[in-house]
Structure 1
């Protein structure tokens, strides 16, 4: 059992018979009235993000969560399949539990969040940055580096990313997985 003063980013709590992760929080002490904690919480079972306010001193049930490294294998009508490289245990997750599933590439290392007490997978987290190869985009023209104009490009997993005009087919790019945004071109 924890209180609102123990709330921190990434903490997992049990609230209304669901498990939530704290995405962001802010302790507020108004000049008039009682203090409170304003939070943005994400459900680990459904992926919904909610705004929730706790009064100061409110007790919250902290959930013990373990992060385990898994390798992405494939997806089918049963869901997305992952394998633990140490124990060779396989687990499949529904698409709702995976953020940015369009960037999953066979053999990619990911982290699966497990409920430590119930041994139940909750969600999957991708690495912060991934490197992908451009499979299709309109060709760039010499001198297109002067503006910040973006064009659509398809990466090797089939996902579409907006990239600068100078990016060509076959280039490797770094993508930030949380936003799906182009970061930079990578030398081959």
Structure 2
């Protein structure tokens, strides 16, 4: 869908120079001399490279809409991860390096994820904002420590190192933010 360059906003996905770009920042400039333009900072979805592009106000750009589909994580198969479409029960394999080493530890059997597609090609994966993990090991609680003091290191059931409150012990279930990897609260 063609849109006017004046309407570009952060978060939009554009097709530009034979690639898909997500808009990071925009600045609309109206100089004293010459026509107005939009200064747009974009990041390539596939390669991660950044680009600063200047669009005149009468330019048009191709806006891309992505199809979002619900999948559930099934299992690991060599260098790939297998997901199942919730609607059609079709299975797809995504390479581990494409999913990303920082997100793989959060995947749990049956976990609901959203995969974004562009022309039937997977280009993005979103995890739930928070996951429940079990504390596998941590230092013992020190008598007299208060809840407001510093956090102590712990290892979660998925192998991640997380800082938890000093009163918690191994075997407790905690909620962890998948974006930052930080402790949020005790699980219900």
TM over 0.5, yes or no?
Answer: yes
In structure 2, C-alpha distance between the alignment counterparts of 1:150 and 1:50, rounded to whole Å: 37
In structure 1, C-alpha distance between the alignment counterparts of 2:164 and 2:50, rounded to whole Å: 31
TM-score (norm 1): 0.81
**Structure 2 runs not aligned, ≥5 long:** none
In structure 1, C-alpha distance between the alignment counterparts of 2:52 and 2:106, rounded to whole Å: 30
Counterpart of 2:169 in structure 1 is 168
Larger Rg: 2
Q: Check whether the contact 2:9–2:26 (CA below 8 A) recurs between aligned residues.
A: no
**Structure 1 runs not aligned, ≥5 long:** none
In structure 1, C-alpha distance between the alignment counterparts of 2:95 and 2:71, rounded to whole Å: 15
Counterpart of 1:102 in structure 2 is 105
Deviation at residue 51 of structure 1 after TM alignment: 5.2
* The 10-residue stretch of structure 1 (1-10 or 118-127) with the greater mean CA deviation from structure 2: 1-10
Q: Check whether the contact 2:8–2:26 (CA below 8 A) recurs between aligned residues.
A: no
- 1:5 match: secondary structure: helix
Counterpart of 2:14 in structure 1 is 13
Q: Across the two proteins, how many residue pairs are aligned to each other?
A: 181
Counterpart of 1:39 in structure 2 is 41
* The 10-residue stretch of structure 1 (102-111 or 26-35) with the greater mean CA deviation from structure 2: 26-35
TM-score (norm 2): 0.81
Counterpart of 2:153 in structure 1 is 152
- Residue 186 in structure 1 maps to residue 187 in structure 2: yes
In structure 2, C-alpha distance between the alignment counterparts of 1:155 and 1:42, rounded to whole Å: 33
* The 10-residue stretch of structure 1 (48-57 or 153-162) with the greater mean CA deviation from structure 2: 48-57
Shift in CA distance, 29/71, structure 1 to aligned 2, threshold 3 Å:
same
